[in-house]
Amino acid sequence: MDAARNHARLLNAAARIARERGLERLTMGAVATAAGVGKGTVFRRFGDRTGLLQALLQRSEDSFQAAHLSGSERADGRDGAIEQLRAFGVAAIRRYAAEMELHLAAEPSPDQRYRRGPRRRYHERVSILLGLAAPDADAELLSHALLGYLEPALLWHLSDQCGLPLQRLENGWLELVSRLVQKPQPHAT
């Protein structure tokens, strides 16, 4: 019980620092001071700053997964799968936009990016939906391409560096899904 309470207290302190002072001021020492514990306690709990940032990110991840990855593994046919793919991407884009700084700061090293639990669960869900929406497609491989569109670094580049509005990013996702699940047209002979 104490461990869970201490974990929550440390995360609450970290979230407060990030919200009030920004991520650049979120240090292990600042969290320790705000939570009233020794700096070693923060390091033992999270390992390093990246571990702390990933723990903060996990809070919103849990809510996102409950809303978009839970429930039955199968959608209601092709149309239901398409609708769920569309909703998943739009929700992910909005979430990343709201938490972009945290997502970028907590980004795992390249060798761990695709091994992390959330990414694996996204891939599994998108593969299932894509398989239902486009049965002839290589859903396992193409789901990686779809998820590539939702990478926080790309969305940051498109929104912050290229100045694209959120609505355009959402529309791009919807168009990508529509084109990918489009039924092939028979060739005229």
pLDDT for the residue 7? 85
Which helix (H) or strand (E) covers residue 170, if one does?
helix 166-181
* Range with the largest mean pLDDT of 5-14, 29-38, 169-178: 169-178
pLDDT for the residue 50? 84
In the chain the domains, ranked by start, together with CATH numbers, are 1-47 (1.10.10.60), 49-181 (1.10.357)
If phi > 0 it is left, if psi is from -120 to 50 it is alpha, else beta; for residue 187 that is beta
Give the C-alpha distances (Å, rounded to integers) separating 63 from 57, 92, 135, 159, 176.
11, 12, 30, 24, 25
Render pLDDT for 64-118 as a digit per residue (tens, 0 to 9). 888 887 654 556 788 999 999 999 999 999 999 988 888 888 876 666 666 666 7
- Is 187 a residue whose pLDDT tops 70? no
| Distant-in-sequence, close-in-space partners of 25: CB < 8 Å, separation ≥ 6 | 17
- Is 63 a residue whose pLDDT tops 80? yes
Contact status, residue 44 vs residue 31, Cβ threshold 8 Å: no
What percent of the chain is helix, strand and coil (3-state, nearest 5)?
A: 75, 0, 25
Contact status, residue 89 vs residue 173, Cβ threshold 8 Å: yes
